[in-house]
Amino acid sequence: MSDDQRTIGQMRNLGPASEAHLNAAGIFTAADVVRLGVEEAYVRMVAAQVETGKRFVIHPAYLYALYGAVENCDWREVPAAKKREFKAICDRLRRKYSIG
């Protein structure tokens, strides 16, 4: 279990917008992201945005950034297999929430 208490904004690849979106889902620290996992953190972030009625774009780049933050790599260095997995997650969420 991670005890990394950095805020979301202090993590690699993530800035104020990502921090605000994740905070709205109750995710405040690097340890929270690690505990939940990249995919679950993203799913919760999307759900929180949709529930508040905010306009939100479901895009795999968010997942790339989260993965890079956890793995300490640039978001552009996400392995191809993970990119395919993340794109599939986004497709599923777009269908679930009827977001184009």
Domains and CATH numbers, the chain: 8-97 (1.10.150.20)
Q: Which two tokens stand for residue 33?
A: 């992201």
51-100, pLDDT tens digit by residue? Answer: 998 888 899 999 999 999 999 999 999 999 999 999 999 999 999 998 86
pLDDT at 1: 57
> Does position 14 have pLDDT exceeding 70, yes or no?
yes
> Does position 46 have pLDDT exceeding 70, yes or no?
yes
Contacts of 3 (CB under 8 A, 6+ apart): 31
pTM for this prediction:
0.92
Contacts of 29 (CB under 8 A, 6+ apart): 4, 5, 6, 7, 8
> Number of helices and strands (H, E) in the chain?
5, 0
In whole angstroms, what is the distance from residue 42 CA to residue 44 CA? 5
pLDDT at 60: 97
- Does residue 63 contact residue 92 with C-beta atoms inside 8 Å? no
